[in-house]
Structure 1
Amino acid sequence: MLEQLSRLAPDADRGVLALALEARSCAMAAGDVADGSRLAVIDYTRPSTQPRLWVFDLERGRLLYDEHVAHGSGSGENFATAFSNRDGSHQTSLGLFATADTYVGGNGYSLRMDGLDPGFNDNARQRLIVMHGASYVDPVQARRQGRLGRSWGCPALRPQVAHAVIDTLKGGQLLFAYADEADWLSGSRWFGCSGRNAREILASARRGGGGLQVAAR
């Protein structure tokens, strides 16, 4: 599956894709999530001026979206460098999320998410960390000002695609948010069920070695 995702999204970091598949597989094995056929991967090591969100249909082997996504205003400027699970931090949270229901709120059509990484993103509901569209997610303006507009920690999208992406991911699908953050990489409960730690998975995938081999269902 890693080879397939890499072909679909050649600009994505193979190591990040491998970690996303590992987290999904471990969560499924633990019975914490259903077998979500759609997986969103965000790589916050990339600048906000570049696309860094990929949405995959694992069942059909398709890349559905390749998009810009905002990070929290407390996380940094063009690059996100600080992450938090704390309410009021306005920082982005890392880890594996399960999507839930939709609603219409102050930011329009929005998608609730439940953080599945204790200590890293499990305050998502309390913090109102949701996926929504926002006018400040404007790639053209980002090129002018050197960064995308920022949220209060939500993975905000371009208004033109937000509704469609949310409908693609709602109802028990998975979102994986990555950064090279040592505490999370060593402390997440979703790495290691295959016998390798996060750094080993990243290194092997980046060398072109096999990632976690899981079959789409």
Structure 2
Amino acid sequence: MKMTMLSWCASFMFLVPTLAQAAGSAPPKNSAAKYDYVDPQNLVPKKALTRALDYFDKYRDKLGNDDYITVIDFTQSSSSKRMYVVDMRTGAVTRYLVAHGNGSDPAHTGYAKKFSNTSGSNMSSLGMYVTGGEYDGKHGRSMRLVGLESTNNNALDRAIVVHGAWYVDPQYKPLGRSQGCPAVEDKYINTLVTQLKGGSVYYIWAGQ
């Protein structure tokens, strides 16, 4: 990790405009060859992984946490392990279950079909994020997300965070739904917050 958590938090508000501008600009040169050790089993959707790696590579020195990137593939059913956490030190990928918002799937089919950046929509928001700090809230240990694109830049105001949830469990097919948060299994929340907090790339994708 390039920065301490304290120093990254202190500079975070100055970095967000730069990172946001970067996310909204033309993608940098494909970084696939440079990171050919990543995802040796080809688990992560190629297009989504490539965009996340390109962003990571170009702005790595501005990230508080360059140990991990996360990709969520909302083209898949919620019954699938569609959240991919990539260890950038080794290239290994770990998959997790993750919920989408009930506004994105009002019929509870298991597929997110609609997305919004609007407060009160209860929909998931697509695009590039960086992770913020952790806090203890109504769902227990949780992690803030900072949206960097026009599709997700209300994430902080909407309280779109990573938290554990009882309804994210393999016994439920499809999973339960959140109010827009990418909620995960309770048993993994401590691991995920510890690994990802403090400025790592977090990309929510649905084929865009």
Q: TM-score range by the shorter chain?
A: 0.7 to 0.9
2:101 equivalent in structure 1 = 72
Partner residue of 2:141 out of 109, 118, 121: 109
1:150 equivalent in structure 2 = 177
Letter of the structure 2 residue corresponding to residue 75 of structure 1: S
Distance 2:65 2:132 in 1: 14
Q: Which consecutive residues of structure 1, in runs of 5 or more, have no partner in the other structure?
A: 182-217
Q: Please state how far the C-alpha of 1:44 moved relative to its aligned partner.
A: 0.5
**Runs of 4+ with deviation above 4 angstroms:** none
Number of residue-to-residue matches in the alignment: 172
1:41-190 matches, within 5 Å, as 41-63=71-93, 65-76=94-105, 77=108, 78-117=110-149, 119-142=150-173, 147-181=174-208
Are the counterparts in 1 of residues 126 and 205 from structure 2 also a CA contact under 8 Å? yes
Q: Please state how far the C-alpha of 1:70 moved relative to its aligned partner.
A: 0.3
The one-character-per-residue Cα deviations of 1:9-54 (angstroms, maximum 9, x if unpaired) are: x33222221122123335x18x764562210110110110000011
Q: Please state how far the C-alpha of 1:4 moved relative to its aligned partner.
A: 2.7
Q: Percent identity among equivalent residues? A: 35
Distance 1:125 1:73 in 2: 19
Q: Please state how far the C-alpha of 1:139 moved relative to its aligned partner.
A: 1.2
Structure-1-length-normalised TM-score:
0.74
1:188 equivalent in structure 2 = none
Distance 2:155 2:179 in 1: 12
Are the counterparts in 2 of residues 98 and 116 from structure 1 also a CA contact under 8 Å? yes
Distance 1:44 1:2 in 2: 24
1:200 equivalent in structure 2 = none
The one-character-per-residue Cα deviations of 1:79-106 (angstroms, maximum 9, x if unpaired) are: 1111111111000011111111111111
**Distance change >3 Å, CA 83–CA 163, structure 1 → 2:** same
Distance 1:101 1:175 in 2: 13
Are the counterparts in 1 of residues 44 and 71 from structure 2 also a CA contact under 8 Å? no
SS for the counterpart of 2:171 is helix
Are the counterparts in 2 of residues 6 and 12 from structure 1 also a CA contact under 8 Å? yes
Partner residue of 1:21 out of 40, 45, 53: 53
**Distance change >3 Å, CA 2–CA 123, structure 1 → 2:** same
Distance 2:38 2:202 in 1: 15
Letter of the structure 2 residue corresponding to residue 106 of structure 1: K
Are the counterparts in 2 of residues 93 and 120 from structure 1 also a CA contact under 8 Å? yes
Distance 1:62 1:154 in 2: 25
Letter of the structure 1 residue corresponding to residue 54 of structure 2: E
> Once superposed, what is the RMSD of the aligned Cα atoms?
1.8
Distance 1:75 1:89 in 2: 8
